[in-house]
Amino acid sequence: MFKIDYKISYDEFVKTIYHHARKYEIKVADPHKQCVTVNALITKAKEEESKRHYANAYYYVNKCLLFFDKEENPVNFTQSDPSTKKIFSEALDLEAKLKRKELPIEYNAMIEEIDRREPERRRIVAQQLESDSSDVNGNKEFSESVDVHLTRQQQLLSSESNSVDELLQRLRWTSVPDMRYVTQRTVFNRPPGPPTHDIISASELSPVPVYPTPPDRNARPGLVSHSNYTACVLNQSSAPLSVQRRGIVNLGNTCYMNSVLQVLNSTQLGQYFLTDDYVSHLTTIKGKLTRLINSFSFVIRELNRADCNFSVSASPFKAALGDYYEGLQNSSQQDANEFLRVLLDGIHSALNMNERNRVTFPEIDNSKGTDDELARRYWAQYYQKNSSIIVDYCAFQERSAIVCPSCNHQSRSFNVSLSLEIPIPQTSSKVSLDDCFATYCREEILDNASMYKCPNCHQKVNARKQLLFYSAPPVLFITLKRFRCYGDFTSASKVNSTVFFSKTLSIAPYMCSMFSKTKYNLVGIVNHQGNMHGGHYTADAVGADGVWCHFSDERVTKADVADNNLAYILCYVR
């Protein structure tokens, strides 16, 4: 976990390990349990030392010594078990041995490895930042990297063409939960699940139509006011940074990862991993998922350290990510949106307390019941097998309605999503985020190959389909679909339209329910500069002091105005 990716002093290396061992500790109040804990920690420290993992051994021995620190742990448990005195003595001896002799060995080996691979890392990073593609066209290794990147983009883009078929499949096989098995649980240190909360009663507002009137298909969508088409100024004042910000080392084409991590650090998810509360929700104490989430927590904590200003090493997280998801294992250029979805899924899987539930449900009749009734059934079914911090913060429901023009039969589904991908309308080279939302929620006709077979009249018809939001999450990730493919992948291209957005957002016009909390504040932007063949990712993110910074891997500067031409992923929070 404590691998370094660039040269820092030995004292800084030791301080980093000590910081994580001493600052983040699960409190154990019971003296007997403390005895068991310190015994497990000293055993783990010895095990790591025997494997020559001296940094890890130093970490565990310091966590062990923390229990003997009267200021940190006022509970006097040393007299309750005679063996604890022996453990204390062993821990002191091991700590001194590691710091004096063994830890420098591992540190020097890391420095030698950095010297060995630094020229190659610099070459890859410089290649990634190269704006003139003619300089790299003759580079065989670069071409192979591009081929891998293009293949991945092709896989992502081609999946969009199957969205209607997948929707119809979900409508056919979705089932309703048996409410006898739906239980209410209190989850501590986490917000309540999103979909059925903050719904205003019908007595407070006039009811929403079952099927909202679609916008004018000939009108430009989302044209609310001219303020939609103005640049987003991130910092209003010229005040200097009051909180130190840290960059993340580019390990070679890892700018996609670094940018998303900086944005996540500005959300409630980042704050959640600054404590050890997540450990109690882990579904397993070993394995790929545990390594992924522990290394992610390590990066977030390093980004928030105020006692140093050098860049963060994320190589343990990158290694754990590659073990979890093979598609992100190599050093080729990757898609930031794909990485975000993989990471959210990984964190959810690691902390999903309902993963092992084996409950079967009867089928849902999508044509009967009010929107609220159907939405609650869908949510109950989903929540029976999905309960994690990711669900609490990111999950929301979309209402998909399909109406048969022959018999007016209506099928509705309320599926759960963790992030949002919206198209960029091609009505102009300059559009607003409202335009994108209106295009996403605009009614469409299922015709030609997408004709809908009505389950009521059993005819294939040109049905009407519309997506609207039923609920809104505390953290909303919006990906602008800047990469498009028309038929053959050789025609794939990037949409370079200017997309205007502001630091505030309301999705109330696109709701089909009376969900009340629909206003958001912008906290992060992932930018992409380049084309389908490659490029460079950067991030703009707001800190705890309210000041926005621009992150380009290790380089951190104060942000000015958002780049509406490069914005790819927007992160809003309530």
Q: Indicate if the pLDDT at residue 328 is higher than 80.
A: yes
Tell me 327's DSSP state: G
Question: Strand pairing of 460-461 and 420-423?
Answer: unpaired
Look-up of token digits 């860049």: 311
Which band of pLDDT confidence, cut at 50, 70 and 90, is reported for residue 251?
confident
Phi and psi at residue 354, in whole multiples of 5°? -110, 15
d(CA 54, CA 47): 10
Look-up of token digits 């840290």: 246
What is each CA distance from 213 to 42, 391, 468, in whole angstroms?
66, 31, 11
Query: Which pLDDT belongs to residue 447?
Result: 86
Query: Which pLDDT belongs to residue 347?
Result: 94
Look-up of token digits 């990485």: 339
* DSSP bridge partners of 526: 539, 569
Nearest alpha carbon to residue 479 among 440, 518, 428: 440
> Which range is least confidently modeled, 191-195, 317-321, 374-378, 429-433?
191-195
Rounded average pLDDT over 275-299: 85
Which band of pLDDT confidence, cut at 50, 70 and 90, is reported for residue 521?
very high
Q: Indicate if the pLDDT at residue 368 is higher than 90.
A: no
Nearest alpha carbon to residue 73 among 2, 122, 139, 25: 25
Rounded average pLDDT over 502-515: 92
The kind and range of the H/E element at 265 are: none
The kind and range of the H/E element at 539 are: strand 534-542
Rounded average pLDDT over 387-394: 94
d(CA 396, CA 15): 41
Cβ-based neighbour number of residue 335 at 10 Å: 22
Query: Which pLDDT belongs to residue 197?
Result: 42
Q: Show the 3-state SS of 154-185.
A: HHHHHHHHHHHHHHHHHHHHCECCCHHHCCCC
Return the sign of the alpha-carbon dihedral for residues 63, 66, 68, 73: negative
Query: Which pLDDT belongs to residue 358?
Result: 73
Question: Higher confidence at residue 202 or residue 319?
Answer: 319
Answer whether 331's CB lies under 8 Å from 124's CB: yes
Rounded average pLDDT over 500-521: 92
Q: Show the 3-state SS of 369-423.
A: CCHHHHHHHHHHHHHCCCCCHHHHHHCEEEEEEEECCCCCCEEEEEEEECCEEEE
Tell me 214's DSSP state: P
Q: Show the 3-state SS of 9-61.
A: CHHHHHHHHHHHHHHCCCCCCCHHHHHHHHHHHHHHHHHHHHCCCHHHHHHHH
Q: Token pair of 450, please?
A: 């997408």
Q: Residue 252 region, left (φ>0) first, then alpha (ψ -120 to 50), else beta?
A: left
For the stretch 127-152, pLDDT in tens is: 666 643 443 444 554 455 545 555 55
Which band of pLDDT confidence, cut at 50, 70 and 90, is reported for residue 16?
confident
Answer whether 540's CB lies under 8 Å from 549's CB: yes
What is each CA distance from 539 to 136, 266, 336, 554, in whole angstroms?
25, 11, 11, 12
Question: Strand pairing of 504-506 and 519-531?
Answer: antiparallel
d(CA 101, CA 106): 10
Question: Higher confidence at residue 202 or residue 62?
Answer: 62
Answer whether 61's CB lies under 8 Å from 110's CB: no
